[in-house]
Chain A
Amino acid sequence: MTNKEKYNQVFMESFSVSSDQLNENLVYQSVPQWDSIGHMGMVAALEEAFDIMMETDDIIDFGSYNKGVELLAKYNVVI
């Protein structure tokens, strides 16, 4: 499984969204499941999927599907 596939899978499973919803419009609180609990669950799932530990500032900045791609690059995870 590629990093992109892993990344997408985490989003689809965490927020119950389909692959065609994985775009720039998918942002924090844009779907009911991406609430405070969903956000922390998604972060935990990404940390497990990529064996990383995200810094607090990055968890706060992780406000969209697209922003996440940029942030994960800091952890040498190229999506």
Chain B
Amino acid sequence: MEGFSLNSIELQEYQPNRYPFLMIDHVKLVIPGVSACGHKNLTLNEWYFPKHFPGAPNMPGALQLEAMAQMLTVAITTLPGLKGKVTHALQHTVRFRKEVLPGQTLIIETTVLSWNRGICKGKGIGYTDGEIACEADMLITIPDILDQYLPKKK
């Protein structure tokens, strides 16, 4: 399938999160079912910087992980018939390597390792200034699809 880019408005068709929880600004290249990469620009105006932490602002690790998961989601929801579908996290393993600071751009690269029966296994890497800031192995699902395969409770 051919790749394409999504600007900050277009990507919202494929990513249901909204302010203040939309953690990606631009999708540079998404190849549906295969990969998605793009970025999040961080200014001092981000809502979490005043409290995390006063005098030493840095992007919370949970939100770095969220940014990677949102980018991976785009790699799935751009597949035919999945536009706008809600995804849920199932299981993530993440490693943080350096602080992500105001003024930096978090470059996010995600890869789909498998997509089957509503479950996506993938990995993501976040870079700032050319160095790895965070990386994660992720398991996300589209509940609407997963539920179709589950035994019914008696």
Contact of B117 among A29, A40, A61 (CB under 8 A): A40
Instruction: Write out, one digit per residue, whether chain A residues 48-60 have a CB within 8 A of any chain B CB (1) or not (0).
Output: 0000000010011
Q: Is the CB of B149 within 8 A of A37?
A: no
Q: Is the CB of B116 within 8 A of A36?
A: no
Evaluate whether A63 and B116 lie within 8 angstroms (CB atoms) in the complex, with A36-B146, A37-B90 already known: no
Contacts of A59 in B (CB 8 A): 117, 149
Chain A residues with CB under 8 Å of B152's CB are 60, 63
Contact string against A for B residues 135-147, beta-carbon threshold 8 Å, 1 for contact and 0 otherwise = 0000101000011
State in angstroms the CA–CA spacing of A67 and B133 once bound together: 47
Q: What are the residues of chain B within 8 A of A29 when measuring CB–CB? A: 153
Q: Would you call B100 an interface residue if the criterion is a C-beta within 8 Å of the partner chain's C-beta atoms?
A: no
**Which residues on B are within 8 Å of A, measured CB to CB?**
90-91, 116-119, 139, 141, 146-154
